[in-house]
Structure 1
Amino acid sequence: MSRIRAAVLGSPIEHSLSPVLHRAAYQELGLADWSYDRFEVDEAALPRFMAGLGAEWAGLSLTMPLKRAIIPLLDGISDTAASVEAVNTVVLTEDGRRVGDNTDIPGIVAALHERGIDTVPSAAVLGAGATASSALAALARICSGEVTAYVRSAGRAAEMRQWGERLGVEVRTADWSAAAGALTAPLVIATTPAGTTDALAAAVPQAPGTLFDVLYDPWPTALAAAWDERGGTLVGGLDLLVHQAVLQVGQMTGRPGPLAAMRAAGERALAAR
């Protein structure tokens, strides 16, 4: 029986949960001839890795720092990926084409939809990195009003306003020193590294709206724990990871990704860390 291969690439890659999620999907779907691995690949090594892929390869997941570096090596990318200039999914088609997509954006929307959040009148974004631009692209689909981005520098503020113009989102920027003000928004998306929002935990209001914190390890963050304690709706990084992986499985295998099985596998893996 010939093997059909898929993998996640990035650097560092050792702690990626993608193999756990995709292998759980293959098991649930009965895809015994599919395998999913992880490879430590940086930007310099990416062209050689891509050149070495054979016909047995069906798809790739891309994490940092490869989401933009992969684009010149592909035959085409989706409108969704082009909107943020970032690819996290590559499908290798039977006719030999390599096509990129971004499942982070619809993954954010799907994770919110699962919690009953379909539309919001306004939102706040904490941070201004690559994940923040994906958050803005997701908000373009569900937010009817203004998005306030809390950032640390004038340069980052300008970048977020430019992303807003490109994505059709009304973006106002504010200095990070005022980030406690974000917590009264109906939807807050925290895209910052671990520890960055810990100081905001004490400022969570008594009746908060929805917090989407993209971290999953460690979990909960101090902000997420305070949010949950005050009765707010909480969406975590594992929710995003699972939903975007569900979409990847669907694209790579042609079969709907099994959400429940993949989430359970991710929860078990995190609990074992």
Structure 2
Amino acid sequence: MKNESISVERRSYLKRKKHRRTAIRVTQLSILVVFVALWEILADIGIIDSFIMSSPSRILRTFTNLSSNGLLEHLGVTLYETLVGFGLGVVIGLILATLLWWSDFFSKVSEPFLVVLNSLPKIALGPVIIIWVGAGTGAIIFMAVAISLIVTVLEMLNGFRNTNPQLVRMAQTFSANKRQIFTQIVFPSNLHTLFNSLKVNIGLSLVGVIAGEFLVSKAGLGYLIVYGGQVFKLDLVMASVIILAVVAAVLYEVVVILERLVTRFVSHSS
């Protein structure tokens, strides 16, 4: 009888949770539909200037034209630069965070420099980066790494430092060395921190790539935005921005799915 009661309560909870999730999705979709409809109506009746603000129908026509005129090429360039910059930023940042956790002395020495570097406007350093790296894909990837790297270092280092001290002390009482403490306790305890960092950095890497493409590029979504602004094709600008928003959402969801898979694998293996 007790098991049946628990089962009924569990089913009721899952049902409420499912309804809430559905209500959230429906509300989000409704807001989007209403926004697009109002945008189109206001543009049609002339309340807003469709030349300056564009309109959903004009953006759709522009997207259709882009689809048959190199959209995939521009999208592929931006995705390649973003993923390479994202990967390098995460790997290098994770290595640096690990080294700084390993040496408390160097961690204390470097902390103020990391804070200063994190507060620097990397986009303003774009011309300097171009001189250093050269005007090409390398400069764009460098920009993406520069924006995401310090965030990774600071977030992971903070997570490593805040690992449950009782677990660390218990491992030390069993004569565990620093490598064993890191691989068995510190890093596994910070998988959630790592994926939170990835969720932030995938967006930052995309921002860095677009900023780099604004300065120096011959292809990519950032190039389309700059070109559209220069020739006053604001439909092209708005279409590129919307595509960019969709790309950012998709990349974020990929990280979320990866987190679920890794979490499920770790929970099953443990």
Q: Which has the higher helix share?
A: 2
* TM-score normalised by the chain length of structure 2: 0.22
**How does the TM-score come out when normalised to structure 1?**
0.22
| Structure showing greater relative contact order (alpha-carbon pairs closer than 8 Å, 6 or more residues apart) | 2
Task: Give the structure with higher Rg (CA).
Answer: 2
Q: Which has the larger strand fraction?
A: 1
